[in-house]
Chains A and B, each alone.
Chain A
C-alpha cells in the first residue's frame, strides 16, 4: 500500500474531476437574443433566451439594461416573461446616442434575485444615422445599473461561445500541463544519462517521453473536439494547433531515432541528445510563436488566457486537482513502461 498510494490518489482525483466536472450546473446566462442589430429613435423589442434561467420566478423583480459603459446604461421600458427561458424586453432607444461614432456596441444585462446577473457582452449593435454628441448626451435617459444580485452557489461560469464546453477545461488543459511536467522529467533524465551513463536513466527518459507523447496526442484530440464546437471545425490550421502537431512530430521522430540503432549505448547517447533538443523546442513552439502571431486560441495574440475572466473559484476547485490527477495517471503508465523495458533488457542480457 505504501508503494502505490499515489496511484490510488491519482484515480480518486480523476474520478472527482469527472463527477464534479460533469455534474455541476452552469450559472445562468443569456444564450440568444434577437434582433441583434437595433436602430435609434425606435422602440425595439428584443427576445432573449436564457440559459439555466428561471424567469418566471419573481418576474416582477426582473430588470434589464443596455449598457454602454460604467456610467451610461439604458433601462428596459417593459419586460414580458414568456416562460422560464424566454423573455421579451422592450427598450426605447433615443434618437441620438452620446457617442462620436455611428455604430455602437452595447452590452445586454439582465438581473433577477433568483438567477443573479447575466450578461451578453457587446452583443447588440445600435446604428444611428447621424452623430450629434450634445443631443445624444441630453436625450440619454440614464438609469445606472445598481444593486445587482450575486448568487453564491456551486456553478460554473457561463461564457457565451463556450456554453457547456467549458467543462473541457478539465481535460484539455490539464492534459497539456501534465504532458509538460512529464516531458520535463524526461529531459532531466536524459541529462542525467549524458552525465552518468547509467542505462536506467535512459530507460526512464524513454518511458516518460512515451507517456508525454501519449498525453500530447490526447491533448490535441480534446482540443480538436473543443474546436469543433466553438470554432466550427476540428482542425482550423490555427497556429497553436500547427505548432503542437509539430512538437509531437518531433517527439515521434525521437522514437524513430531510437528504433534505428542496434548498439544500446549509442542508442542511449544519441537519443538523449535528441530528447533534450526536442524538449528545448517545446517552449518556443508551444508558447512563444503562438503568442507572437494572431491565433484563435485563448492566451495568444491578445486573447485572455488564465486570467480572472476564464477561471473563477468554483472552476479552480476542480482544475488544480485535475492537473495532479492526470500527472499521476501519466506517471503510473510511465512506470509500467519502465518496468517492461527493464525486464526486456534483463532478458536480452541473460
Chain B
C-alpha cells in the first residue's frame, strides 16, 4: 500500500474505534462543559478580552487531555504488528490528522458552550475560524509528537504536560493574537504576517515530527 492509502486506512480505523466506544469524545464533552460551567459561575460578566483568553486556555487543557491517550492506549503487541506492516510516517500522520479533527470538534464545542454561557463577541467569523483551524492543527501536531515521546517513558502523564507546554506557548500567543483581531480588540495591522507565521510554525513542527518519529518507532 502506498503511504497515502495507509494513512486513510488508519484514519478510518481510528474513527471507527471512536464511534464504537465514544470514549474520547464523551470525555472531552464532559471536560468542556464542566470547565465552561465553572467559568460561568466564577465570572458574572465576561469582557471580550477575558472571553478570548478563557477560550484558548480551555482549548489548551482540553487538547492536552484529549491527545494524551493517543499513543498511550496502544498495547505492545499491536504496536509490533503495526511496525511490521505500516510505514511509521503513515502512523504518525494518521494520528495527527485524527487528533486535529478531534480538536476541531472540541474547538467548535467550546465555542458553542462558551457562547451560550457568556455571549458571542466574534465579529469577523472568518478569522476566528482560521484561528481555530490553525490552532487545532498546531496543538494536534505538537501533542501527538510529544505523546509519542512520553508514551515510552514511565511517568507519562506529567511528562506530556512538561514537554509540550514550552513548545505550545508561541503557538498559543499567536492564536490569542489572531482571535483578538477577530473579536475586534486589536487593529488590523500586519495580521497576514501572523497568520503566515502560525502556518509556518505548524509546518516546521510537522516536518520535525516526521523526520524524528521513525527513530522513536523502532523500539
**Contact yes or no, A194 B215, CB < 8 A:** yes
Report whether over half of chain B's contact residues are helix, strand or loop; otherwise say mixed: helix
**Contact yes or no, A257 B163, CB < 8 A:** yes
> Which stretch of A30-38, A94-102, A272-280 is in the interface?
A272-280
Is B74 on the interface with A (CB-CB < 8 A)? no
For chain A, residues 45 to 63, give those with C-beta under 8 angstroms from any C-beta of chain B.
Answer: none
Which of chain B's residues have a CB closer than 8 A to the CB of A253?
162-163, 166
Docked complex Cα distance between A266 and B156 (Å)? 14
A193 vs chain B, min Cβ distance (A): 10
**Contact yes or no, A260 B153, CB < 8 A:** yes
Docked complex Cα distance between A272 and B212 (Å)? 10
**Contact yes or no, A257 B166, CB < 8 A:** no
**Contact yes or no, A246 B149, CB < 8 A:** no
For chain A, residues 234 to 249, give those with C-beta under 8 angstroms from any C-beta of chain B.
Answer: 242-243, 246-247, 249
For chain B, residues 163 to 198, give those with C-beta under 8 angstroms from any C-beta of chain A.
Answer: 163, 165-167, 169-170, 173, 193, 197
Task: List the A residue with the shortest CB-CB distance to B155.
Answer: A260
**Contact yes or no, A270 B201, CB < 8 A:** no
**Contact yes or no, B219 A262, CB < 8 A:** no
**Contact yes or no, B159 A260, CB < 8 A:** yes
Q: Which of B152, B170, B212, B218 contacts A246 (CB 8 A)?
A: B170
Docked complex Cα distance between A261 and B149 (Å)? 11
**Contact yes or no, B159 A280, CB < 8 A:** no
Q: Which of A250, A262, A272, A292 contacts B166 (CB 8 A)?
A: A250
**Contact yes or no, B197 A292, CB < 8 A:** yes
Report whether over half of chain A's contact residues are helix, strand or loop; otherwise say mixed: helix
The size bracket of the interface on A is 20 to 34
CB within 8 Å for A284 and B166 given contacts A257-B149, A273-B212: no
CB within 8 Å for A284 and B167 given contacts A256-B162, A257-B153, A270-B153: no
Task: List the B residue with the shortest CB-CB distance to A270.
Answer: B152
**Contact yes or no, A289 B170, CB < 8 A:** yes
B182 vs chain A, min Cβ distance (A): 19
Docked complex Cα distance between A208 and B56 (Å)? 36
Is A340 on the interface with B (CB-CB < 8 A)? no
CB within 8 Å for A273 and B197 given contacts A250-B166, A250-B167: no
Docked complex Cα distance between A91 and B219 (Å)? 80
CB within 8 Å for A284 and B153 given contacts A246-B166, A253-B163, A292-B197: no
Task: List the B residue with the shortest CB-CB distance to A194.
Answer: B215
Contact with B along A286-303 (1 / 0, CB 8 A): 000100100000000000
Which of chain B's residues have a CB closer than 8 A to the CB of A256?
159, 162-163
Docked complex Cα distance between A243 and B174 (Å)? 13
Q: Which of A242, A249, A262, A273 contacts B149 (CB 8 A)?
A: A273
Task: List the A residue with the shortest CB-CB distance to B209.
Answer: A277
Nearest 10 A-B pairs (CB), nearest first?
A: A249-B166, A260-B153, A250-B166, A273-B212, A253-B163, A260-B155, A246-B166, A256-B162, A270-B152, A273-B215
Enumerate 13 A-B pairs (CB-CB under 8 Å) in ascending A order: A243-B170, A257-B153, A257-B163, A260-B153, A261-B153, A269-B215, A269-B216, A270-B152, A273-B149, A273-B212, A273-B215, A280-B204, A289-B197
